[in-house]
Chain A
Amino acid sequence: MIMAPDGFSPPTLAPLNLPVVNILSADKVFPNGTRGLAPIDLAIGRNEFVSLIGPSGCGKSTLLKLVANLYEPTDGRIVWWQGNFSRVGESGRRLAFVFQDATLMPWSRVEANVRLPLDLAGLPKTAAVPKVASALAQVGLTRYARHYPGQLSGGMRMRVSIARALVTEPDLLLMDEPFGALDEFTRNKLDDDLVRLSWERKLTTMFVTHSLYEAVFLSTRIVVMAANPGRIYAQMTVDEPAPRGDAFRNSDRFAALCRDLSRLLQAASLESAVADHDEGGR
């Protein structure tokens, strides 16, 4: 189950179906000369839920932003849909990004916030409204469509943010620590919903998190990263079938998986620290 910490995906781990996105030796050197990411090779298959986890500075957010096309890779390529499209946004490759904050427009009602990506894409309102209603129903917020974000709790605002992502029916959902600011009960509830939605909607997701429990609960595959420079340290699959719920969360198997991941993270953290020390010595 745990693969060698060698920084590439062994053939047994490669998804059997076609990758949605293929990251080919993409790296990132920031303008100030800092190396954010060493060349990364990673393929995300259809219906996969891939979590990125690792010590701070390991480049997991940077990697997500490369895939989101918020950054250009310094070298290497990110190939979409088996190479038919090399750039995000071409020919209907739909991406949705969920931030750590809900980032809603406080002056707009929940329904208008969810409709925003459709409005920006120029979809007529008559076509957009049913999509919005369906997305709101999926996150359980139908009753709150006419509310303003300021009237909702933190967890509910995050649900609105997720509905805004789902409404575009994305080929790939990118989430950057979306539940990091929430309390544990709310977070568990949203994790439950996300697992259910991934199953129902056949989502493909890249998910950055700091919580190893969350990573184990949600993921079909976990990518452990190390820092200095940011790189993939190891990968781990979680082949627990859907639907997952409290039974899985309370199982011995879950505890064992968390222990395995914890060990990997400790090793990755140690590796990052050593590299840090070496840098300082030069």
Chain B
Amino acid sequence: MRPLITNAWFNRIAAPVGVATFVLIAWQFFCRQRGIPVYLFPAPTDIALKLAAEWPSLLTALMSTLEVTFEAFFLAVLLGSLTAFLFVQSQAIAISLYPFAVLLQVTPIVAIAPLIIILVKNTQVALTICATVVAIFPIISNTTVGLAAVDPGLLAYFRMNKASRLQTLIRLRIPSALPYFLAGLKISSGLALIGAVVAEFVAGTGGRNAGLAYDILQSGLQLDIPRMFAALLLIAVTGVLLFTLMAGLSHLALGHWHESGMGNEK
């Protein structure tokens, strides 16, 4: 029997769960011992009770945020991949458009969001645009690099066998780009959630009564701190689930041939 501490399963799952358990118990103990009021800093049990009691309304808020997140993520993947294909088709297009992609990336979304929310009448659409702007760059940049990062030997082999442009794209460029694209997907999925939450914050009370960020703002105004924590927890769990989903997808698609899919970073 190997010592538990060197066991891979223990390190991957049991260790972080252990840390979380320890922190939660210490947190609970600290709050109860010092008698800290719930409206200042709630104990884990307060948050759990709140989550259970107000689950329906929190779920509605979560669904609203998830809707924006997934719409934005889908748009980012679609538009990002198309842009990347455009970039590798022509050097001229890449040179003329790439600076604008960078511009979009480096301008903080918090700064652009108010403008978008004013300009776009439908709040849902405005939120989705904001989140898409945040999520699209990793897809463009990673897929572009991936489509260009083709083994020159294989490219020569395809040329020698008189492969058509389409054959080269489908059989060589797309599979070569897949690991890069999937790495972009992992980053982008998290960014879509961040973008959705940030956009909701900016839209704030002026927006519609939905979304977890709006919920956090409202709970803050009402000093409903447990509900703030509950909403925060839901955002965090959603982010982790999104990442795990993307890591799983990556493993499924690449596990049999690419280092990044072999499950060392999940």
Contacts and interface: CB of A to CB of B under 8 A. Distances in A.
Interface of A: 68-70, 89, 95, 97, 99, 101, 103, 105-108, 116-117, 119-121, 148-150
Contacts of B172: 105
B256 A97 contact: no
A106 B172 CA distance: 10
A150 B257 contact: yes
Contacts of A149: 257
Interface string B142-158: 00000000010110111
A106 B161 contact: no
Contacts of B156: 70, 99, 103
B153 A101 contact: yes
7 contacts: A103-B153, A105-B154, A116-B157, A117-B161, A119-B171, A120-B158, A120-B161
Contacts, number: 46
B161 A121 contact: yes
Contacts of A108: 175
B162 interface: yes
Given A89-B162, A120-B161, A103 B257 contact: no
Nearest to A148: B257
Interface of B: 151, 153-154, 156-163, 167, 171-172, 175, 178, 254, 256-258
Nearest to A97: B160
Contact of B163 (A99, A103, A120): A120
A173 B154 CA distance: 17
A268 B158 CA distance: 35
B157 A107 contact: no
A95 B159 CA distance: 13
Contacts of B257: 106-107, 148-150
Given A99-B157, A121-B161, A107 B178 contact: yes
A107 B159 CA distance: 19
Contacts of B151: 103
A103 B157 contact: yes
Most buried by A among B159, B160, B163, B172: B160
A120 B167 contact: yes
B178 A68 contact: no
Nearest to B153: A103
A69 B167 CA distance: 20
Contacts of B254: 107
Nearest to A161: B157
Given A70-B156, A106-B258, A117-B161, 10 more contacts: A95-B160, A99-B156, A99-B157, A103-B153, A103-B154, A107-B257, A116-B171, A120-B158, A148-B257, A150-B257
Contacts of A68: 160
Given A120-B167, A148-B257, A150-B257, A105 B161 contact: no
